[in-house]
Amino acid sequence: MQQPDNSKGKALITGASTGIGALYADRLAKRGYDLILVARNTAQLDALAARLTAETGRAMEVVTADLTQGAQLLQIESILRDDPAISMLVNNAGFSNSTPFIDADAGALEAMIALNIVALTRLSHAAARAFAARKAGILINVGSGVVVMPELANEVYGGSKAYVLNFTRNIAAQLAPHGVQVQVVLPGAVLTEAWERSGTDVGLLPAGVMMSAGDLVDGALAGLDQGETITFPSMEDVSSWEAMEAARTAMAAKVFQAQVASRYR
C-alpha cells in the first residue's frame, strides 16, 4: 500500500505488543499517525507492525525495551527527546498481580513501581519538555478505575494508579498553556491478557463488568477528542465523580488549619 501523506506525526506507545496498547496502535494508525511501538516482545511487535503497515500504510518503528531497566528506559527517553516528529505519547505499559502484600515478592513489587510510576514519570517528563518546546503534543497516561475503590486491587497497583491520576491532573494544568493536551484514562475491568498474567480468575468477576479492549480505547479516544483531562470510558453518568471532586475540594479548607482538631485535645 502506498503510504499517505503524514500530517499527524508519530505516536509512541509503550506496552504496545498486546491488549490495550495494541488497540491504541490500531486506532492511531487508522487516524493517520506513524507509530513507534515499544514493548519487551519483539516478535509480537514485529507482527503488529507488519499488519498495521499493510492495513494502513503508516510507517512503523519497533523498539524492544524493558522499561524497568534503566538503560532501556533511557533509550526511550532519548527517542522522545530527540525525534521532533513525535507528537503523541501513550504511556500504557504497566502490570499488576493478585498476590496479597505480605505474600508478594518484594522484587516484583519494586518492578511494579518501576514500571507503573518511575517509567511513566520519566517518559512523561521527556515528552512534556519536547512538546512544550514545540507548543504542541498529546500525552496520554493509562491509569485505572481502582482509584475510586483502591481496596479492589493489589495494594501497590492501586497506589501506583492513584499516583498516575494525581500526577497527570497536575501536569495537565502546567502544560495546557504550552499547547500540550494531557489525558489520564481510568478504565474499569477490561478483557486483556493482563488478568491471566496477574493470576486473577476473570470468571469470578460479576457479570456485565468486563469491557473489551477495543471499546475501551475507542471510548478513551472519544474523551480525548472532547478535550477531557480525566476520562472514565465506562462511566455513563459522571455526576457522581463530579460530586466526589466537589466534596474533595471543599474538604481542603478543613484540612489546612493551624489548630489541632478538638477531638485530639
Q: Cell 491520576 sits at which residue?
A: 165
Alpha helices in the chain (DSSP H): 19-30, 42-56, 70-82, 106-113, 120-134, 155-175, 194-198, 213-225, 239-255
Question: At how many degrees (to 10) do helices 42-56 and 19-30 cross?
Answer: 20
| CA–CA gap between residue 17 and residue 37 (Å, rounded) | 7
Q: Hey, CA dihedral for 175, 181, 186, 189, is it positive or negative?
A: negative
Q: What does the block give as the cell for 39?
A: 514493548
Chain centroid to CA 35? 16
Is 157 one of the catalytic residues? yes
Q: What does the block give as the cell for 165?
A: 491520576
The closest alpha carbon to 67, from 89, 100, 47, belongs to 89
Residue 79: how many other CB atoms lie within 10 Å: 20
| From 24, 33, 157, 163, the catalytic residue | 157
Positions annotated as catalytic residues are 157
